Amino acid sequence: MFLENVSKYDFNVTIEKAKKEIENNSWKISAIHDLQQTLKNHDKNIRPVVVFAICNPKYSAEILENDDHRIISPMMPCRISIYEKSNGKTYISRMNSTPMAKEFGGKIEQVIINSSREVEEMLSELFIHE
């Protein structure tokens, strides 16, 4: 259901490199959620966690322009999480949407597969390939 890879870089460098990869590949960052800061505001201390909400306007429009396809809008935008674990390593996680795409078939399947492939290609430069 989820994919997780170790980053080649520390937390802050991973964030900066991810931003550049996303923006250089015609994707947009619609929001960045700093969960560590959010919880700190409520007197909870956790390790760094940042979640990017990203979208590709082309793919979003392909889904949202069709009333019958809007049912999958809760899965939008795509999310990428960058976090640090207690071992000191930085990780990148995201949904593994491709298996779910087959359940929908048709245009939805095509868009999910294409967008998932692009996200993996964008981020792969950041991964330690074990």
User: Minimal CA–CA distance to 58: which of 25, 102, 81?
Assistant: 25
How far apart CA 45 and CA 40 sit, in angstroms, is 6
- C-beta separation of 22 from 53 below 8 A: no
Name the strand (E) or helix (H) holding 86. none
The answer to whether residue 1 scores a pLDDT higher than 80 is yes
Domain at 2-123: CATH code? 3.30.310.70
pLDDT of amino acid 129: 82
Q: Delimit the domains of the chain by residue range.
A: 2-123
- Report the SS3 class of residue 94: strand
> Mean pLDDT of all residues in the chain?
96
pLDDT of amino acid 71: 94
**Direct distance between the N- and C-terminal alpha carbons of the chain, in angstroms, rounded to an integer:** 20
User: Minimal CA–CA distance to 35: which of 83, 78, 91, 76?
Assistant: 83
pLDDT of amino acid 94: 97
Rounded to two decimals, what is the model's pTM?
Answer: 0.93
Residues 66-119: pLDDT tens digits? 999 999 999 999 999 999 999 999 999 999 999 989 999 999 999 999 999 999
